Structure 1
Amino acid sequence: MIKERRTLIRKRRCGRSAAPARTGPLRRRLALALTAAAAAAALAGCSGDTGKAGRSPAPAAPARKPNIIFVLTDDLSWNLVAHMPQVQKMQQDGTTFDNFFMADSLCCTSRATIFTGRYPHNTRVRTNFPPLGGYKVFEQNGGEQNSFGPALQKGGYHTAFLGKYMNGYEPNDRQGGTKPYVPPGWNEWYAAGNGYPEYDYNLNENGRLVSYGHKPEDYLTDVLANKSADFVQRAAGSGKPFFMEIATFAPHGPLVPAPKYAGKFPHLRAPRSPSFNEKDVRDKPTWLRKHPKLGKRVIANIDNTFRMRVRMVQSVNDMIGRIRGELTALGIDRETYVVFGSDNGFHLGEHRLAAGKMTAFDTDIRVPFVFTGPGIGPGRHVPQFAQNTDLAPTLLGLAGLPAPAGADGRSLVPFLQGRVPPDWRQAALIEHVKPAFSAQDPDRQDSLPGAPTTYNAIRTQNALYVEYADGEREYYDLTRDPNEMDNTAGRLPEPRRRYLSDLLHAYVNCAGQGCVNAGRSG
């Protein structure tokens, strides 16, 4: 089967004399520029030329842009990676960013930042629903035009989006037209609205509303995997580079695993870090001090929640393996980047918090991000700080395109080349506006009393500093307290406090290059 697929793709390529060869050694693998010798060999393979004397060498093929596949999960925390062998294989094959932070650990705000490269205070998407957030706010503030989709499409890419778009997006929204609306920048569009239950949902499939039911084959993550594989197979022979984002709803609640994984891992427990069911929270801000110690029943629910999350990500794991296997079968794995990550983290028992996100703790803001592809060395780890503001500049950078206008982040491509920019940021901004309660909000538990109030925070290599809108403060010395258990804000020397507060103020008021400069001073 693999041989047949490679032969088919080779025939498709050879049948298009104007299309550049897509196989062969790479001169600069990250730039994907074929050498003249490699191009001649590739063309000879199509024409039957074996390079015998007396024959003119084939002309060099033009440089071809790489393909890019971006897998974005929902609420996937670092402690789930241990149960995802395909992600671990990506780590072995590529580069892992060990300190990748979300500017706000909330679905819609994070995705708006990912699409545009702008902090939430610049996207103006601060919550999941209006008036302070959601799809309509993103759209009204030019988010769709400023996202990486239109830029990639204009740059010659065949683009596809699959899965979860933005909170508040409805697949049957017609935006005044006669057909379901497809946002600008996407050649192919397969997006859901409420896909959290994994069954009984609608997809906007290229302007056509398609309903899915409750059969095993309707399981949404598997449907996205099937559509992803189909897209790769079709796009591989198109003669154009392609970009595909697959945004799963998994492992976000209500925690519905695929039937084949429903009974797996029966004895698995949630990890017990030192902060799990924290003994003393008297030093914490008011919203957290109110939490009692977790009882046996709550802990049992936490363990069950963790099992269900592990079960859900098995389908994501399968999807990654299938996509990468498809790339290999088609012979395009060495010219395709695969990026895996999450929109935010998730706490589950830490600091007496049962289940959720939106805090400034590392459980919520630090997420896995792994890159594989041409020119990326195997088994590499990057300790420097990256943020979701960097994703749009990076995805465009991999495509050889400039960063989006107004982006607050920077391209991570130098790190993928094994280089460290000398002026890279030394701090990460986290900002959060407590959302108003909405029964339609899938994260409504984090808008209730006992959830974090509005805050801004700075995360440096050795500290976390948080300023709440009500005047409360947190400070954790991560060198001696990596689990963020001892809030020493009340003992923080005034010069240190003033420095961090000034840095935070510079960040929350920055835009574009100003954000880059603020990060350097961390």
Structure 2
Amino acid sequence: MKKNLLPLAALLPLCAAAQQRYNIVYIMTDDHTAQMLSAYDSRNIQTPNLDRIAQDGVKFTRSFVANSLSGPSRACMLTGKHSHKNGFTNNEHGIFDGEQQTMPKLLQKAGYQTSIVGKWHLVSRPTGFDHWDILPGQGNYYDPDFYNEKGSYKVKGYLTNIVTDKAIHWLDEERDPNKPFALFVHHKACHRDWLPELKYLHEYEDVNFPLPANFYDDYAGREAAGKTEMEIGKHMTLDYDCKIMPRDGKGSHLLPSYLGFLDRLNTQDRAKYDYFYDSISVDFHKRNLTGKALVEYKFQRYMRDYAKVVKSLDDNVGRLLDHLKAKGLLDNTLVVYTSDQGFYMGEHGWFDKRFMYEESLNTPLLMHLPKGLSARGEINEMVQNIDYAPTFLELAGAAIPNDIQGVSLVPLLKGQHPKNWRKSVYYHFYEFPAEHSVRRHYGVRGERYKLMHFYNDNDAWELYDLQNDPTEMHNLYGDPKMKNVTKQMKKELLRLQKQYDDSIRFQQKL
């Protein structure tokens, strides 16, 4: 008797259906640094809901970005490629090419439903998403505008709450429950100018945050660091950043923007805001602070407002986790929490990011792992934001294109420790001249040493021993004792530039 055999082509969909296909919830914040997340550092604040992600999953201890800037970092995540390959190198002149291959598009082809809510910051309209509801530009903390395929509209409330509301609404009301999904929840928090949720205005006002050990850095031996414009003492404004209104009504060039943000509040909410910060302004002017006392006052105001913004963020991460659990989704969903880069909380006397120094090169990375992924606790292998795309694709059962430059983290999530895992990461920052005046540079970060090269208008090298000098205060480049280390690091830098096909290597002599 002749058997009826299914053709191979008919079997393929059955194989795909049999494979475990995890849902993905990718939470990305802006400028949230590990120093202000208690799973990494409990000295400053507590973030119990964010810590929950690590407690039932993993915490990456060496998670890095390829370009410490909002738009470029997002482009690296979407494409799995370094900035010079995805074409979005800087915020000043960049427009993301939405026609190119992206991870969300590949997830769609693999049968996933995709959605993004919140911050986009890539100028062009989102592609590869079945649903998108995003902020124009940076967005506003208070009563923000959104836009989607139907047009622009305004929403009443605090932005961090609203983004979470939209994510939950899509999960409950708009997604197809018969399809696996990838939901991208992108917050504006903790971006400058750190406007708190009104109910948290008084939080942290009784806290005096410790100054970082290198707060009064003199930038000796680091020429480019001394030229930047992001010192708390010199460049953080009293009005826009610290919310101190000038006595004469005349403030920094940023003051009109700040007042514009506040004008979005209704009369009642504006009164609450003004009552709190006006009293702080009055107190400040009575003090007549100068010198270090003034600098340290600005630091405390910065830290307090930043912490307040994180508190609302932590609340909302908890709200989303609780909702996923209540809906029975958590066991089959990979939940990723990260930021587009790190941030300086007074280290080197700075705020902002951009540099390849550790505080902005590092980014938090926590993952709740669903059933079937057995890793728990800390993962110490070096990972980078170009790795998210291939990770999600492998979990979706989709092929990873050869031109993707990142590597899948799935082996690490299964508790494996591949012997051939990377021992260094490549970094390249492009945005100069621009705000904060951080010079262009590229570099390699290895297990112990870091080598950086500032180029174009500022030709200078920097070498750090991260084991003996974790705060990167002593540039060892040119030290005869470091000749062999320098040679090896330059060799590794060139190897990575060739591997990632960064043409800058042909313009510089190593």
Query: Could you tell me the TM-score, scaled by structure 1's length?
Result: 0.75
Deviation, 1:196, is 3.8
Equivalent pairs, count = 419
Aligned partners of 2:411 and 2:320: how far apart in 1?
Answer: 26
Equivalent residue number for residue 494 of structure 1: 483
Deviation, 1:298, is 2.1
Q: 1:196 to 1:114 in 2, by over 3 A?
A: same
Deviations 1:167-192 (A, max 9, x none): 435xxxxxxxxxxx5x3321111111
Instruction: Report the AA paired with residue 449 of structure 2.
Output: A
CA RMSD of aligned residues (A): 2.5
Aligned partners of 1:365 and 1:285: how far apart in 2?
Answer: 19
Aligned partners of 1:127 and 1:159: how far apart in 2?
Answer: 26
Q: 1:286 to 1:220 in 2, by over 3 A?
A: closer
Equivalent residue number for residue 506 of structure 1: 495
Deviation, 1:457, is 1.2
Equivalent residue number for residue 77 of structure 1: 33
CA contact (8 A) 2:19 2:397 kept: no
Deviation, 1:267, is 2.6
CA contact (8 A) 2:64 2:384 kept: yes
Equivalent residue number for residue 128 of structure 1: 91
1:65 matches 2:21:
yes
Aligned partners of 1:89 and 1:391: how far apart in 2?
Answer: 21
Aligned partners of 2:487 and 2:20: how far apart in 1?
Answer: 51
Deviation, 1:379, is 4.4
Equivalent residue number for residue 462 of structure 1: 448
Match of 2:369 among 357, 373, 393: 373
Q: Secondary structure at the match of 1:487?
A: coil
Aligned partners of 2:341 and 2:180: how far apart in 1?
Answer: 29
1:248-327 → structure 2 map (5 Å cutoff): 248-278=187-217, 280-288=218-226, 294=233, 295-327=292-324
Answer 1 or 2: higher relative contact order, Cα 8 Å, separation at least 6: 2
Q: 1:414 to 1:210 in 2, by over 3 A?
A: same
Single out whichever of 372-381 and 189-198 deviates more from structure 2.
372-381
Equivalent residue number for residue 356 of structure 2: 360
Deviation, 1:154, is 1.1
Q: 1:87 to 1:226 in 2, by over 3 A?
A: same
Deviations 1:122-176 (A, max 9, x none): 122221021xx2xx2x21xxx553211111111111110011112435xxxxxxx
Structure 2, gaps ≥5 residues long:
1-14, 39-45, 234-291, 504-510
Deviation, 1:200, is 4.5
Equivalent residue number for residue 208 of structure 1: 150
1:104 matches 2:67:
yes
CA contact (8 A) 2:375 2:412 kept: no
1:33-48 → structure 2 map (5 Å cutoff): none
Q: Secondary structure at the match of 1:489?
A: coil
Q: Secondary structure at the match of 1:351?
A: helix
Q: Secondary structure at the match of 2:349?
A: coil
Aligned partners of 2:145 and 2:498: how far apart in 1?
Answer: 40
Equivalent residue number for residue 16 of structure 1: none
1:324-335 → structure 2 map (5 Å cutoff): 324-335=321-332
Q: 1:168 to 1:237 in 2, by over 3 A?
A: closer
Aligned partners of 1:290 and 1:480: how far apart in 2?
Answer: 25
Match of 1:146 among 93, 98, 101: 101
Equivalent residue number for residue 19 of structure 1: none
1:311-460 → structure 2 map (5 Å cutoff): 311-353=308-350, 355-374=351-370, 375-377=372-374, 379-437=376-434, 444=435, 446-447=436-437, 452-460=438-446
CA contact (8 A) 2:232 2:298 kept: no
Aligned partners of 1:350 and 1:270: how far apart in 2?
Answer: 13
CA contact (8 A) 2:25 2:184 kept: yes
Deviation, 1:380, is 1.2
**Segments of 4+ in structure 1 off by > 6 A?**
289-293
Deviation, 1:510, is 3.1
Single out whichever of 335-344 and 377-386 deviates more from structure 2.
377-386
Instruction: Report the AA paired with residue 222 of structure 2.
Output: K
Single out whichever of 85-94 and 310-319 deviates more from structure 2.
310-319
Aligned partners of 1:378 and 1:421: how far apart in 2?
Answer: 13
Aligned partners of 1:62 and 1:377: how far apart in 2?
Answer: 20
Structure 1, gaps ≥5 residues long:
1-32, 35-60, 170-180, 438-443, 516-522
Equivalent residue number for residue 464 of structure 2: 476
Q: 1:491 to 1:327 in 2, by over 3 A?
A: same
Q: 1:479 to 1:261 in 2, by over 3 A?
A: same
1:229 matches 2:192:
no
Q: Secondary structure at the match of 1:367?
A: coil
CA contact (8 A) 1:145 1:184 kept: no
Match of 1:94 among 52, 57, 73: 57
Aligned partners of 1:210 and 1:286: how far apart in 2?
Answer: 41
Instruction: Report the AA paired with residue 147 of structure 2.
Output: N
Deviation, 1:461, is 1.3
Single out whichever of 476-485 and 227-236 deviates more from structure 2.
227-236
Instruction: Report the AA paired with residue 508 of structure 1.
Output: Q
Aligned partners of 1:210 and 1:236: how far apart in 2?
Answer: 22
Deviations 1:171-219 (A, max 9, x none): xxxxxxxxxx5x33211111111344313543223x1124225x4xx22
Aligned partners of 1:379 and 1:64: how far apart in 2?
Answer: 20
CA contact (8 A) 2:448 2:467 kept: yes
Instruction: Report the AA paired with residue 137 of structure 2.
Output: N
CA contact (8 A) 2:375 2:413 kept: no
Q: 1:270 to 1:466 in 2, by over 3 A?
A: farther
Aligned partners of 1:121 and 1:95: how far apart in 2?
Answer: 30
Aligned partners of 1:127 and 1:93: how far apart in 2?
Answer: 36
Q: Secondary structure at the match of 1:338?
A: strand
Aligned partners of 2:99 and 2:58: how far apart in 1?
Answer: 29
CA contact (8 A) 1:68 1:336 kept: yes
Single out whichever of 364-373 and 496-505 deviates more from structure 2.
496-505
Percent same amino acid at aligned positions? 27
